[in-house]
Amino acid sequence: MKIIRAKDYKDMSRKAANIISAQVIMKPNCVLGLATGGTPVGTYQQLIDWYNKGDVDFSEVTTVNLDEYRGLPRENPQSYWSFMHDNFFDHVNIDPARINLPDGTNLDAAAECKRYDEVIHNVGGIDLQLLGIGHDGHIGFNEPGAAFELGTHCVDLTQETIEANKRFFDGNVDLVPKQAYTMGIKTIMQARKVLLVANGAGKAEIIKKAFFGPVTPEVPASILQMHPDFTLVGDAEALSLI
């Protein structure tokens, strides 16, 4: 496990974007596993900035996103498909045919999860997986108690995650979908590199627990301690307890 200390959110974003752009420069046709949420937005902005300056080229990159709400069509502004297009894909030269997310509109969970695992397999696996971390230690939508050996699966979101995500649904908890398709921990652990970004004092406690506590399904991110190429980039506040 490598820990990179950043001063603040901007610095964290730049350091994470540096690692991602190094990956793309070294392997232009790489597979990037991407995350939504508030934390990586600055990382995407930095990558867009470098793309605009001609420093990084995404034309051969394939992406696989971690998760998607079950039941939300792509066009819904709160879908992760929309989030990724608004915050990243629409601003760089990524080939739309190489963008992959779970399909929230396929309500046949078994079929959709199988399809998505095949997508990841068929693109040759993930070169670099970007992650955020939930206050309860979730990664993707793998909530506490999630089995480490799962591939893509359908989850019932915990109340805490529903609450945390309501800010994206006009603050209305009733509008937040209650299920999601997520890559499993097994899939995440099979990524050749994992990069987790964290910022703010609110993440300090879980960062300490996940990366300096026991490896347990009760703290899903703790499994990353066992990953052979795991990098945590955090700002001073998120890393304040370690």
Question: Which residues are the active-site residues?
Answer: 67, 136, 138, 143
Stretch that binds ligand F6R, among 12-20, 47-55, 116-124, 129-137 (CB under 6 A): 129-137
Q: List the one residue from 16, 101, 113, 139 that touches ligand F6R (CB under 6 A).
A: 139
Relative to beta strand 62-65, strand 99-100 is parallel
Comparison of 35 and 219: residue with beta carbon closer to ligand F6R: 35
Backbone φ and ψ of 92, nearest 5°: -130, 175
Q: Which of 12, 15, 37, 87 binds ligand F6R (CB under 6 A)?
A: 37
Stretch that binds ligand F6R, among 10-18, 135-143, 218-226, 233-241 (CB under 6 A): 135-143
Question: Closer CB to ligand F6R, residue 57 or residue 148?
Answer: 148
Name the minimum Å distance from CB 53 to ligand F6R.
26
- Ranges within 76-105 binding ligand F6R (CB under 6 A): none
- Which single residue brings its beta carbon nearest to ligand F6R? 132
8 A C-beta contact, residue 31 and residue 65 = no
Kindly tell me which residue out of 14, 70, 138, 153 binds ligand F6R, with binding defined by CB under 6 A. Answer: 138
User: Residue 50 or residue 181: which is nearer to ligand F6R going by CB?
Assistant: 181
Cα gap 114→92, rounded to integer Å: 29
Whose tokens are 């995500």? That residue is 165
Number of Cβ atoms within 10 Å of the Cβ of 168 = 16
For ligand F6R, the closer CB: 94 or 133:
133
CA–chain centroid gap for 201, Å, is: 20
Minimum separation from the CB atom of position 54 to ligand F6R (A):
29
- Which of 33, 42, 104, 132 touches ligand F6R (CB under 6 A)? 132
Q: How far is the CB of 179 from ligand F6R (least distance, A)?
A: 14
Binding of ligand F6R at residue 67 (CB under 6 A)?
yes
Q: Shortest approach of ligand F6R to residue 24 CB, angstroms?
A: 20
Residues engaged in binding ligand F6R (CB under 6 A): 35-39, 66-67, 132-134, 138-141
